[in-house]
Each structure stands twice: as structure tokens, then as C-alpha cells.
Amino acid sequence: MPSSLNYRIGLIQMSCGPDPDANLDKAADRVREAAREGANVVCLPELFRAQYFCQREDTALFDLAEPIPGPSTERLAAVAREEKVVVIASLFERRAAGLYHNTAAVLHKDGTLAGLYRKMHIPDDPLYYEKFYFTPGDLGFKAFDTAVGKIGTLVCWDQWYPEGARITAMQGANVLFYPTAIGWHPAEKEEFGTAQYEAWQTIQRAHAIANGVYVGAVNRVGEEHGDVRGNRVEGPGLQFWGGSFIADPFGRIVAKASHDREEILVAEVNLRLLEDTRRNWPFLRDRRIDAYQPIVHRFLDASTTGSEK
């Protein structure tokens, strides 16, 4: 039988300003608020300490990175201890000179570090120049044991890849968290904005359904030009679309935020519902693990199949 323990998860949808210390102060306050609203696990958005700096390639911006453990985890660990809440914090990790990662740190409710997840899939698109800054993750996909059970976190661009969600769920995670920084190019919003947001939501709801887990996707809000201490990108910038949400194992949206306001979402993880959903939709039982070897190839053509086209 599943554990009788149900628990509550919180997502912090916030805007980010040009002062990293002010962003950390806001994040700490919001985590406290979520905990006092009953959340047992709280997830912050991707790279919340700064405006989204990957809108340009600038070596000076590597100075934003920090070690883990470091100042941000120390500050949030104190909140975790005081509020007795698990915290997921997405940070710009300085691992060594010239080696940086986009990393989610998971903090136990006593403030100790449960572990790290380093973003595996790194995008490179206009105004999302992440390959300049981040080395792809080398820790693999992970589920973390916490006071409420196993949880998993991936980061932003990872959300488009079903393989990461599957592997994390296969390790026992009951919830998949996706700290995110995603938005509209203003010139594209009128034509493509609705479709882009709906695709983003749909793919993550599909992860919930396919794996029989809860999904928490948390985004930032606001228009940004990568403004860090007065240095900004010229041009229209990005409009982060918010729309953070929590989906249950049936893919239903149980909590959803607006596109333009800071909000805290809190919803219950019902382990009985998770168990019942998997019993009725036994996707893990029916997987054909003997037939999936082709997935390890980049693409299936003559070079991988050994046959003529």
C-alpha cells in the first residue's frame, strides 16, 4: 500500500530585478510565505538571482556564478531550517574556473544539501544563448529522498524531453519540478504566443500522464533585458509568460498562475491518487524495455540501422 502521507508543494512565480541580492531577499521571503501557506516543498524559478542574462554573450556575466554550497544555498538553508520546508533553488553554479553549470540545488528541511541536478539539455536560440555559459550536466537524472518522499527536478529546456521525465520517475520521484525561465519574443507574441504557451504546458502535462506523477512547472514574469547592475541588452528583450502550474497524475491542472503577476501556487500531492492512477493506467508495467535500444541513437538512418535507405 502507498504511504498515507499527503503533502503540499509550492511554486514561486516571481519577477527578477537587476540587483541579485534583492532577488535573493525576495525569494527567501516568498519561500517563507509558501511554507506558511502549508507547502512542504517549495520550488523557485530558474536562475532567480538575476534577470535572464543569457540574452547576450558577455564574459563579465560569469561573475554572477557562485559555488554550491555558497551564499544562496546558505541563505535559503536558513529559511528551510526555520520553516521546516524542502527548497529547490535554481542557481548559476561556479564549479571551477571556466566551468559553470545551470544547477538546481535541493535543500532538506533541516537546511542540509540533499543534492544537485545539473541541467542536461542546453539551448542556443536568439536571446537564449545558454551554451555560452553552461556546461551540460554530468550527474544524470536524479530523484532525491526528502522528508516527504522522493522528488525530482529538471530545468527548463529539459521539459521538452520525455526521456528525462521518464528516467527521473523510474527512480521513484512522485513529483517532477521544472524551474523555468521562458518567455515570448515580443514581435512573435501576437502570432505565436498562445500556441507556444500551450505547447509548453501540454508537453509537461504529458509527462505527468505518461509517468503517473505530479508536475510542478514554475516560471518567472515580467519584461526583461538582461539588466544586471545597469548593464542591459538593447532591443525589445523578452516577456516572460508566467503561467506556472501544477498538474496531477491524470494531467489535470490543479493550480495555475496568471501570465503577468507574481503569485505563489500551493497544491496537495495525493499519493493515493498517484497509486490509483498508475493501477488504472499501468504504463510502467507495459513498457517494452526489450525494444527501446534505438533510443540511444541521435537519428535512425543507414549509419545506425546497417541497412540501405
CA angle 141, 146, 148 (to 5 degrees): 120
Closest CA to 63 of 238, 220, 228: 228
Q: Is 190 a catalytic residue?
A: no
- Please, what is the end-to-end C-alpha distance for the chain in angstroms? 51
Distances (CA, A) of 81 to 26, 77, 86, 271: 18, 6, 9, 25
Say if residue 276 is exposed, middle or buried (CB neighbours under 10 Å; 0-12, 13-18, 19+): middle
Catalytic residue among 109, 119, 224, 268: 119
d(CA 26, CA 241): 19
DSSP character for 100? E
Catalytic residue among 16, 43, 46, 142: 46
As given in the structure block, the three cell numbers for residue 210 are 505518461
H helices of 152-185, in order, are: 162-170
d(CA 175, CA 229): 36
Dihedral pair phi/psi, residue 121, rounded to 5°: -100, 120
Amino acid found at 108: H
Catalytic residue among 26, 83, 156, 268: 156
CB 201 within 8 A of CB 243: yes
Q: Is 54 a catalytic residue?
A: no
d(CA 77, CA 97): 25
Burial 231-270 (b: 16+ CB within 10 A, else e): ebbeeebbbbbbbbbbbbbbbeeebbbebeebbbbbbbbb
Q: Is 156 a catalytic residue?
A: yes
Residues annotated as part of the active site? 46, 119, 156
